[in-house]
Structure 1
């Protein structure tokens, strides 16, 4: 489930578990994987990270630049991620425990909802249950193109709505 509403409060939980996604629920960062393998590569991505740390560029601008380097159609990006990303070995157990114990999971991520949802459903092997909410960025068409065409997609920042 992806939403910015407070739907995870509907069961009156005693606690709510907030987590990042990339490198926390998964073993590797999906955006780094796409950039390194489908975009401008590891070296330029790492330089962008250094530039952010040295305040030469904002994280937001560096992240957009990184994702804009990926010209692969979005559906093909998802295919590559499905084949290459792995879940933390204990996350599935935690996911089901949280469901059974009324502990909503809220994934807060700078990543993109369709990527996170696709990977979780693929790696867990079923559609997501209502106890998991994703708060992240979206994907949108670039200049009216089909997102599944080369260069046809871009990130849509959550807070730009």
Structure 2
């Protein structure tokens, strides 16, 4: 089972954990949780969704060049009402999400918002794991708001 568990909210950002078969895989950064969807500025609603490989989106060509030895298509979260082309991809700041989850090896908080850092390293780690799950037919992801005290001001757990 693949899960995205939201653990903290910033002013304009949401920090999550990605779990694959109950094991922490990486941090994810999304936009804020909003009652009304604002295109490109709203995170994925809670629920269960599909995962698939998208071979046609513009990001696919860029990632194919950037990761030629592992890229088999963009990992897309599908079946989201009023959303499409929601990809798990690289980025550090909520301004780079456009409604998509960004991968991160660790996080920090600055001016009331979360950031994920070493995004490319986290993506390089988690992409093959997710690809393997999709190929095995484990192509569902559960998204839950599970806010709890996972993170202390002293600093985050790290994948470094």
TM range, smaller chain: under 0.3
More strand, by proportion: 2
For the pair shown, the structure with the greater C-alpha radius of gyration is 1
TM-score (norm 2): 0.24
TM-score (norm 1): 0.24
More helix, by proportion: 1
